[in-house]
């Protein structure tokens, strides 16, 4: 379906129900969670273990075939995600030590952060193997299907290219790509923005959002929405 046929009042009602689900079935599994936690398809957000903390305005998008997994192994590790972060479908974060993600970080689809080997090279029975903390500083962008391995620190504003494997520290304001990832460009910081600006600017994010959907869905009706299910066709 290429068009959202919902009337705006239905969108608001669905958002309200989703918030109730998050409050009753997601937040209790977290050690801490800030204001405006949003999860699209929260039934596909998998949380395992203790020591998982999310900051303010964290937005998570999960899908049936690409669930989001936040896992702490036998309560040995911890996961801390700062304010204004975005977690896309298929993201996996697995900790047996410590994974700290700063403010305004963007985790693209299918990326994987793991602070452990999960078993030794020769002795493959006992987990978690060797561990070392992972740190993502503020405003880091991890590309599609990238892998961040144990002991890595990624400096602020840096970008990790799609499918990269990061095994060593990444300096601030850098773009890295490849397997193993290497610096290919320094990132100019002039006029660099972060997702924080959405929530701290002149127009609060929720006001912008309401204005956007009020205009986009203004002409939609409940009959049109039902018709889109009964007689699906090409949307314009």
CATH code where residue 93 lies: 2.160.10.10
Residue 134's alpha-carbon distances to 6, 59, 123, 207, 221, in angstroms, are 42, 21, 24, 35, 48
Cα separation of 87 and 124, whole Å? 31
The answer as to whether 196 is a domain residue is no
Set 24, 29, 59, 119: catalytic member: 119
Cα separation of 76 and 180, whole Å? 28
Residue 24's alpha-carbon distances to 19, 32, 42, 70, 81, in angstroms, are 9, 14, 11, 18, 20
Summarize pLDDT for 7-55 with one digit per residue, the tens: 999 999 999 999 999 999 999 999 999 999 999 999 999 999 999 999 9
Enumerate the H helices of 113-221 as residue ranges. 196-200, 205-216
Q: How many domains does the chain have?
A: 2
The answer as to whether 194 is a domain residue is no
Q: Same structural domain for residues 147 and 220?
A: no
Summarize pLDDT for 75-128 with one digit per residue, the tens: 899 999 999 999 999 999 999 999 999 999 999 999 999 999 998 887 888 889
Q: Same structural domain for residues 18 and 70?
A: no
Structure tokens at 76: 């040995």
Is 119 labeled as catalytic in the residue annotation? Answer: yes
Q: Show the domain range for 206.
A: 1-30+201-231
**Predicted model pTM:** 0.91
Phi and psi torsions of 219, nearest 5°: -90, 0
The answer as to whether 8 is a domain residue is yes
Q: Same structural domain for residues 17 and 64?
A: no
Q: Same structural domain for residues 181 and 151?
A: yes
Cα separation of 163 and 183, whole Å? 14
């Amino acid at each position: 379906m290429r068009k959202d046929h919902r009337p705006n009042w239905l969108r608001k009602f669905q958002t309200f129900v989703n918030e109730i689900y998050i409050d009753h079935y997601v937040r209790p599994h977290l050690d801490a969670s800030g204001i405006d936690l949003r999860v699209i398809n929260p039934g596909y957000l998998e949380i395992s273990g203790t020591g998982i903390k999310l900051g303010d305005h964290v937005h998570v998008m999960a899908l049936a075939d690409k669930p989001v997994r936040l896992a702490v192994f036998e309560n040995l590790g911890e996961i801390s995600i700062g304010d204004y972060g975005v977690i896309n479908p298929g993201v996996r974060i697995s900790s047996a030590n410590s994974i700290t993600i700063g403010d305004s970080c963007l985790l693209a689809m299918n990326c994987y952060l793991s602070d452990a080997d999960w078993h030794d090279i020769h002795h493959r029975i006992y987990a978690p193997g060797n561990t070392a903390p992972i740190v993502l500083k503020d405003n880091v962008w991890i590309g599609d299907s990238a892998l961040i391995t144990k002991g890595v620190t990624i400096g602020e504003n840096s970008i990790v290219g799609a499918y990269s494997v990061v095994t060593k520290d990444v300096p601030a304001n850098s773009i890295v790509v490849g397997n193993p990832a290497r610096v290919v460009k320094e990132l100019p910081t002039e006029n660099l923005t972060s997702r924080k600006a959405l929530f701290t600017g002149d127009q609060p994010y929720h006001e912008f959002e309401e204005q956007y959907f009020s205009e986009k869905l203004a002409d939609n009706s409940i009959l049109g929405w039902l018709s889109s299910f009964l007689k699906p066709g090409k949307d314009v």
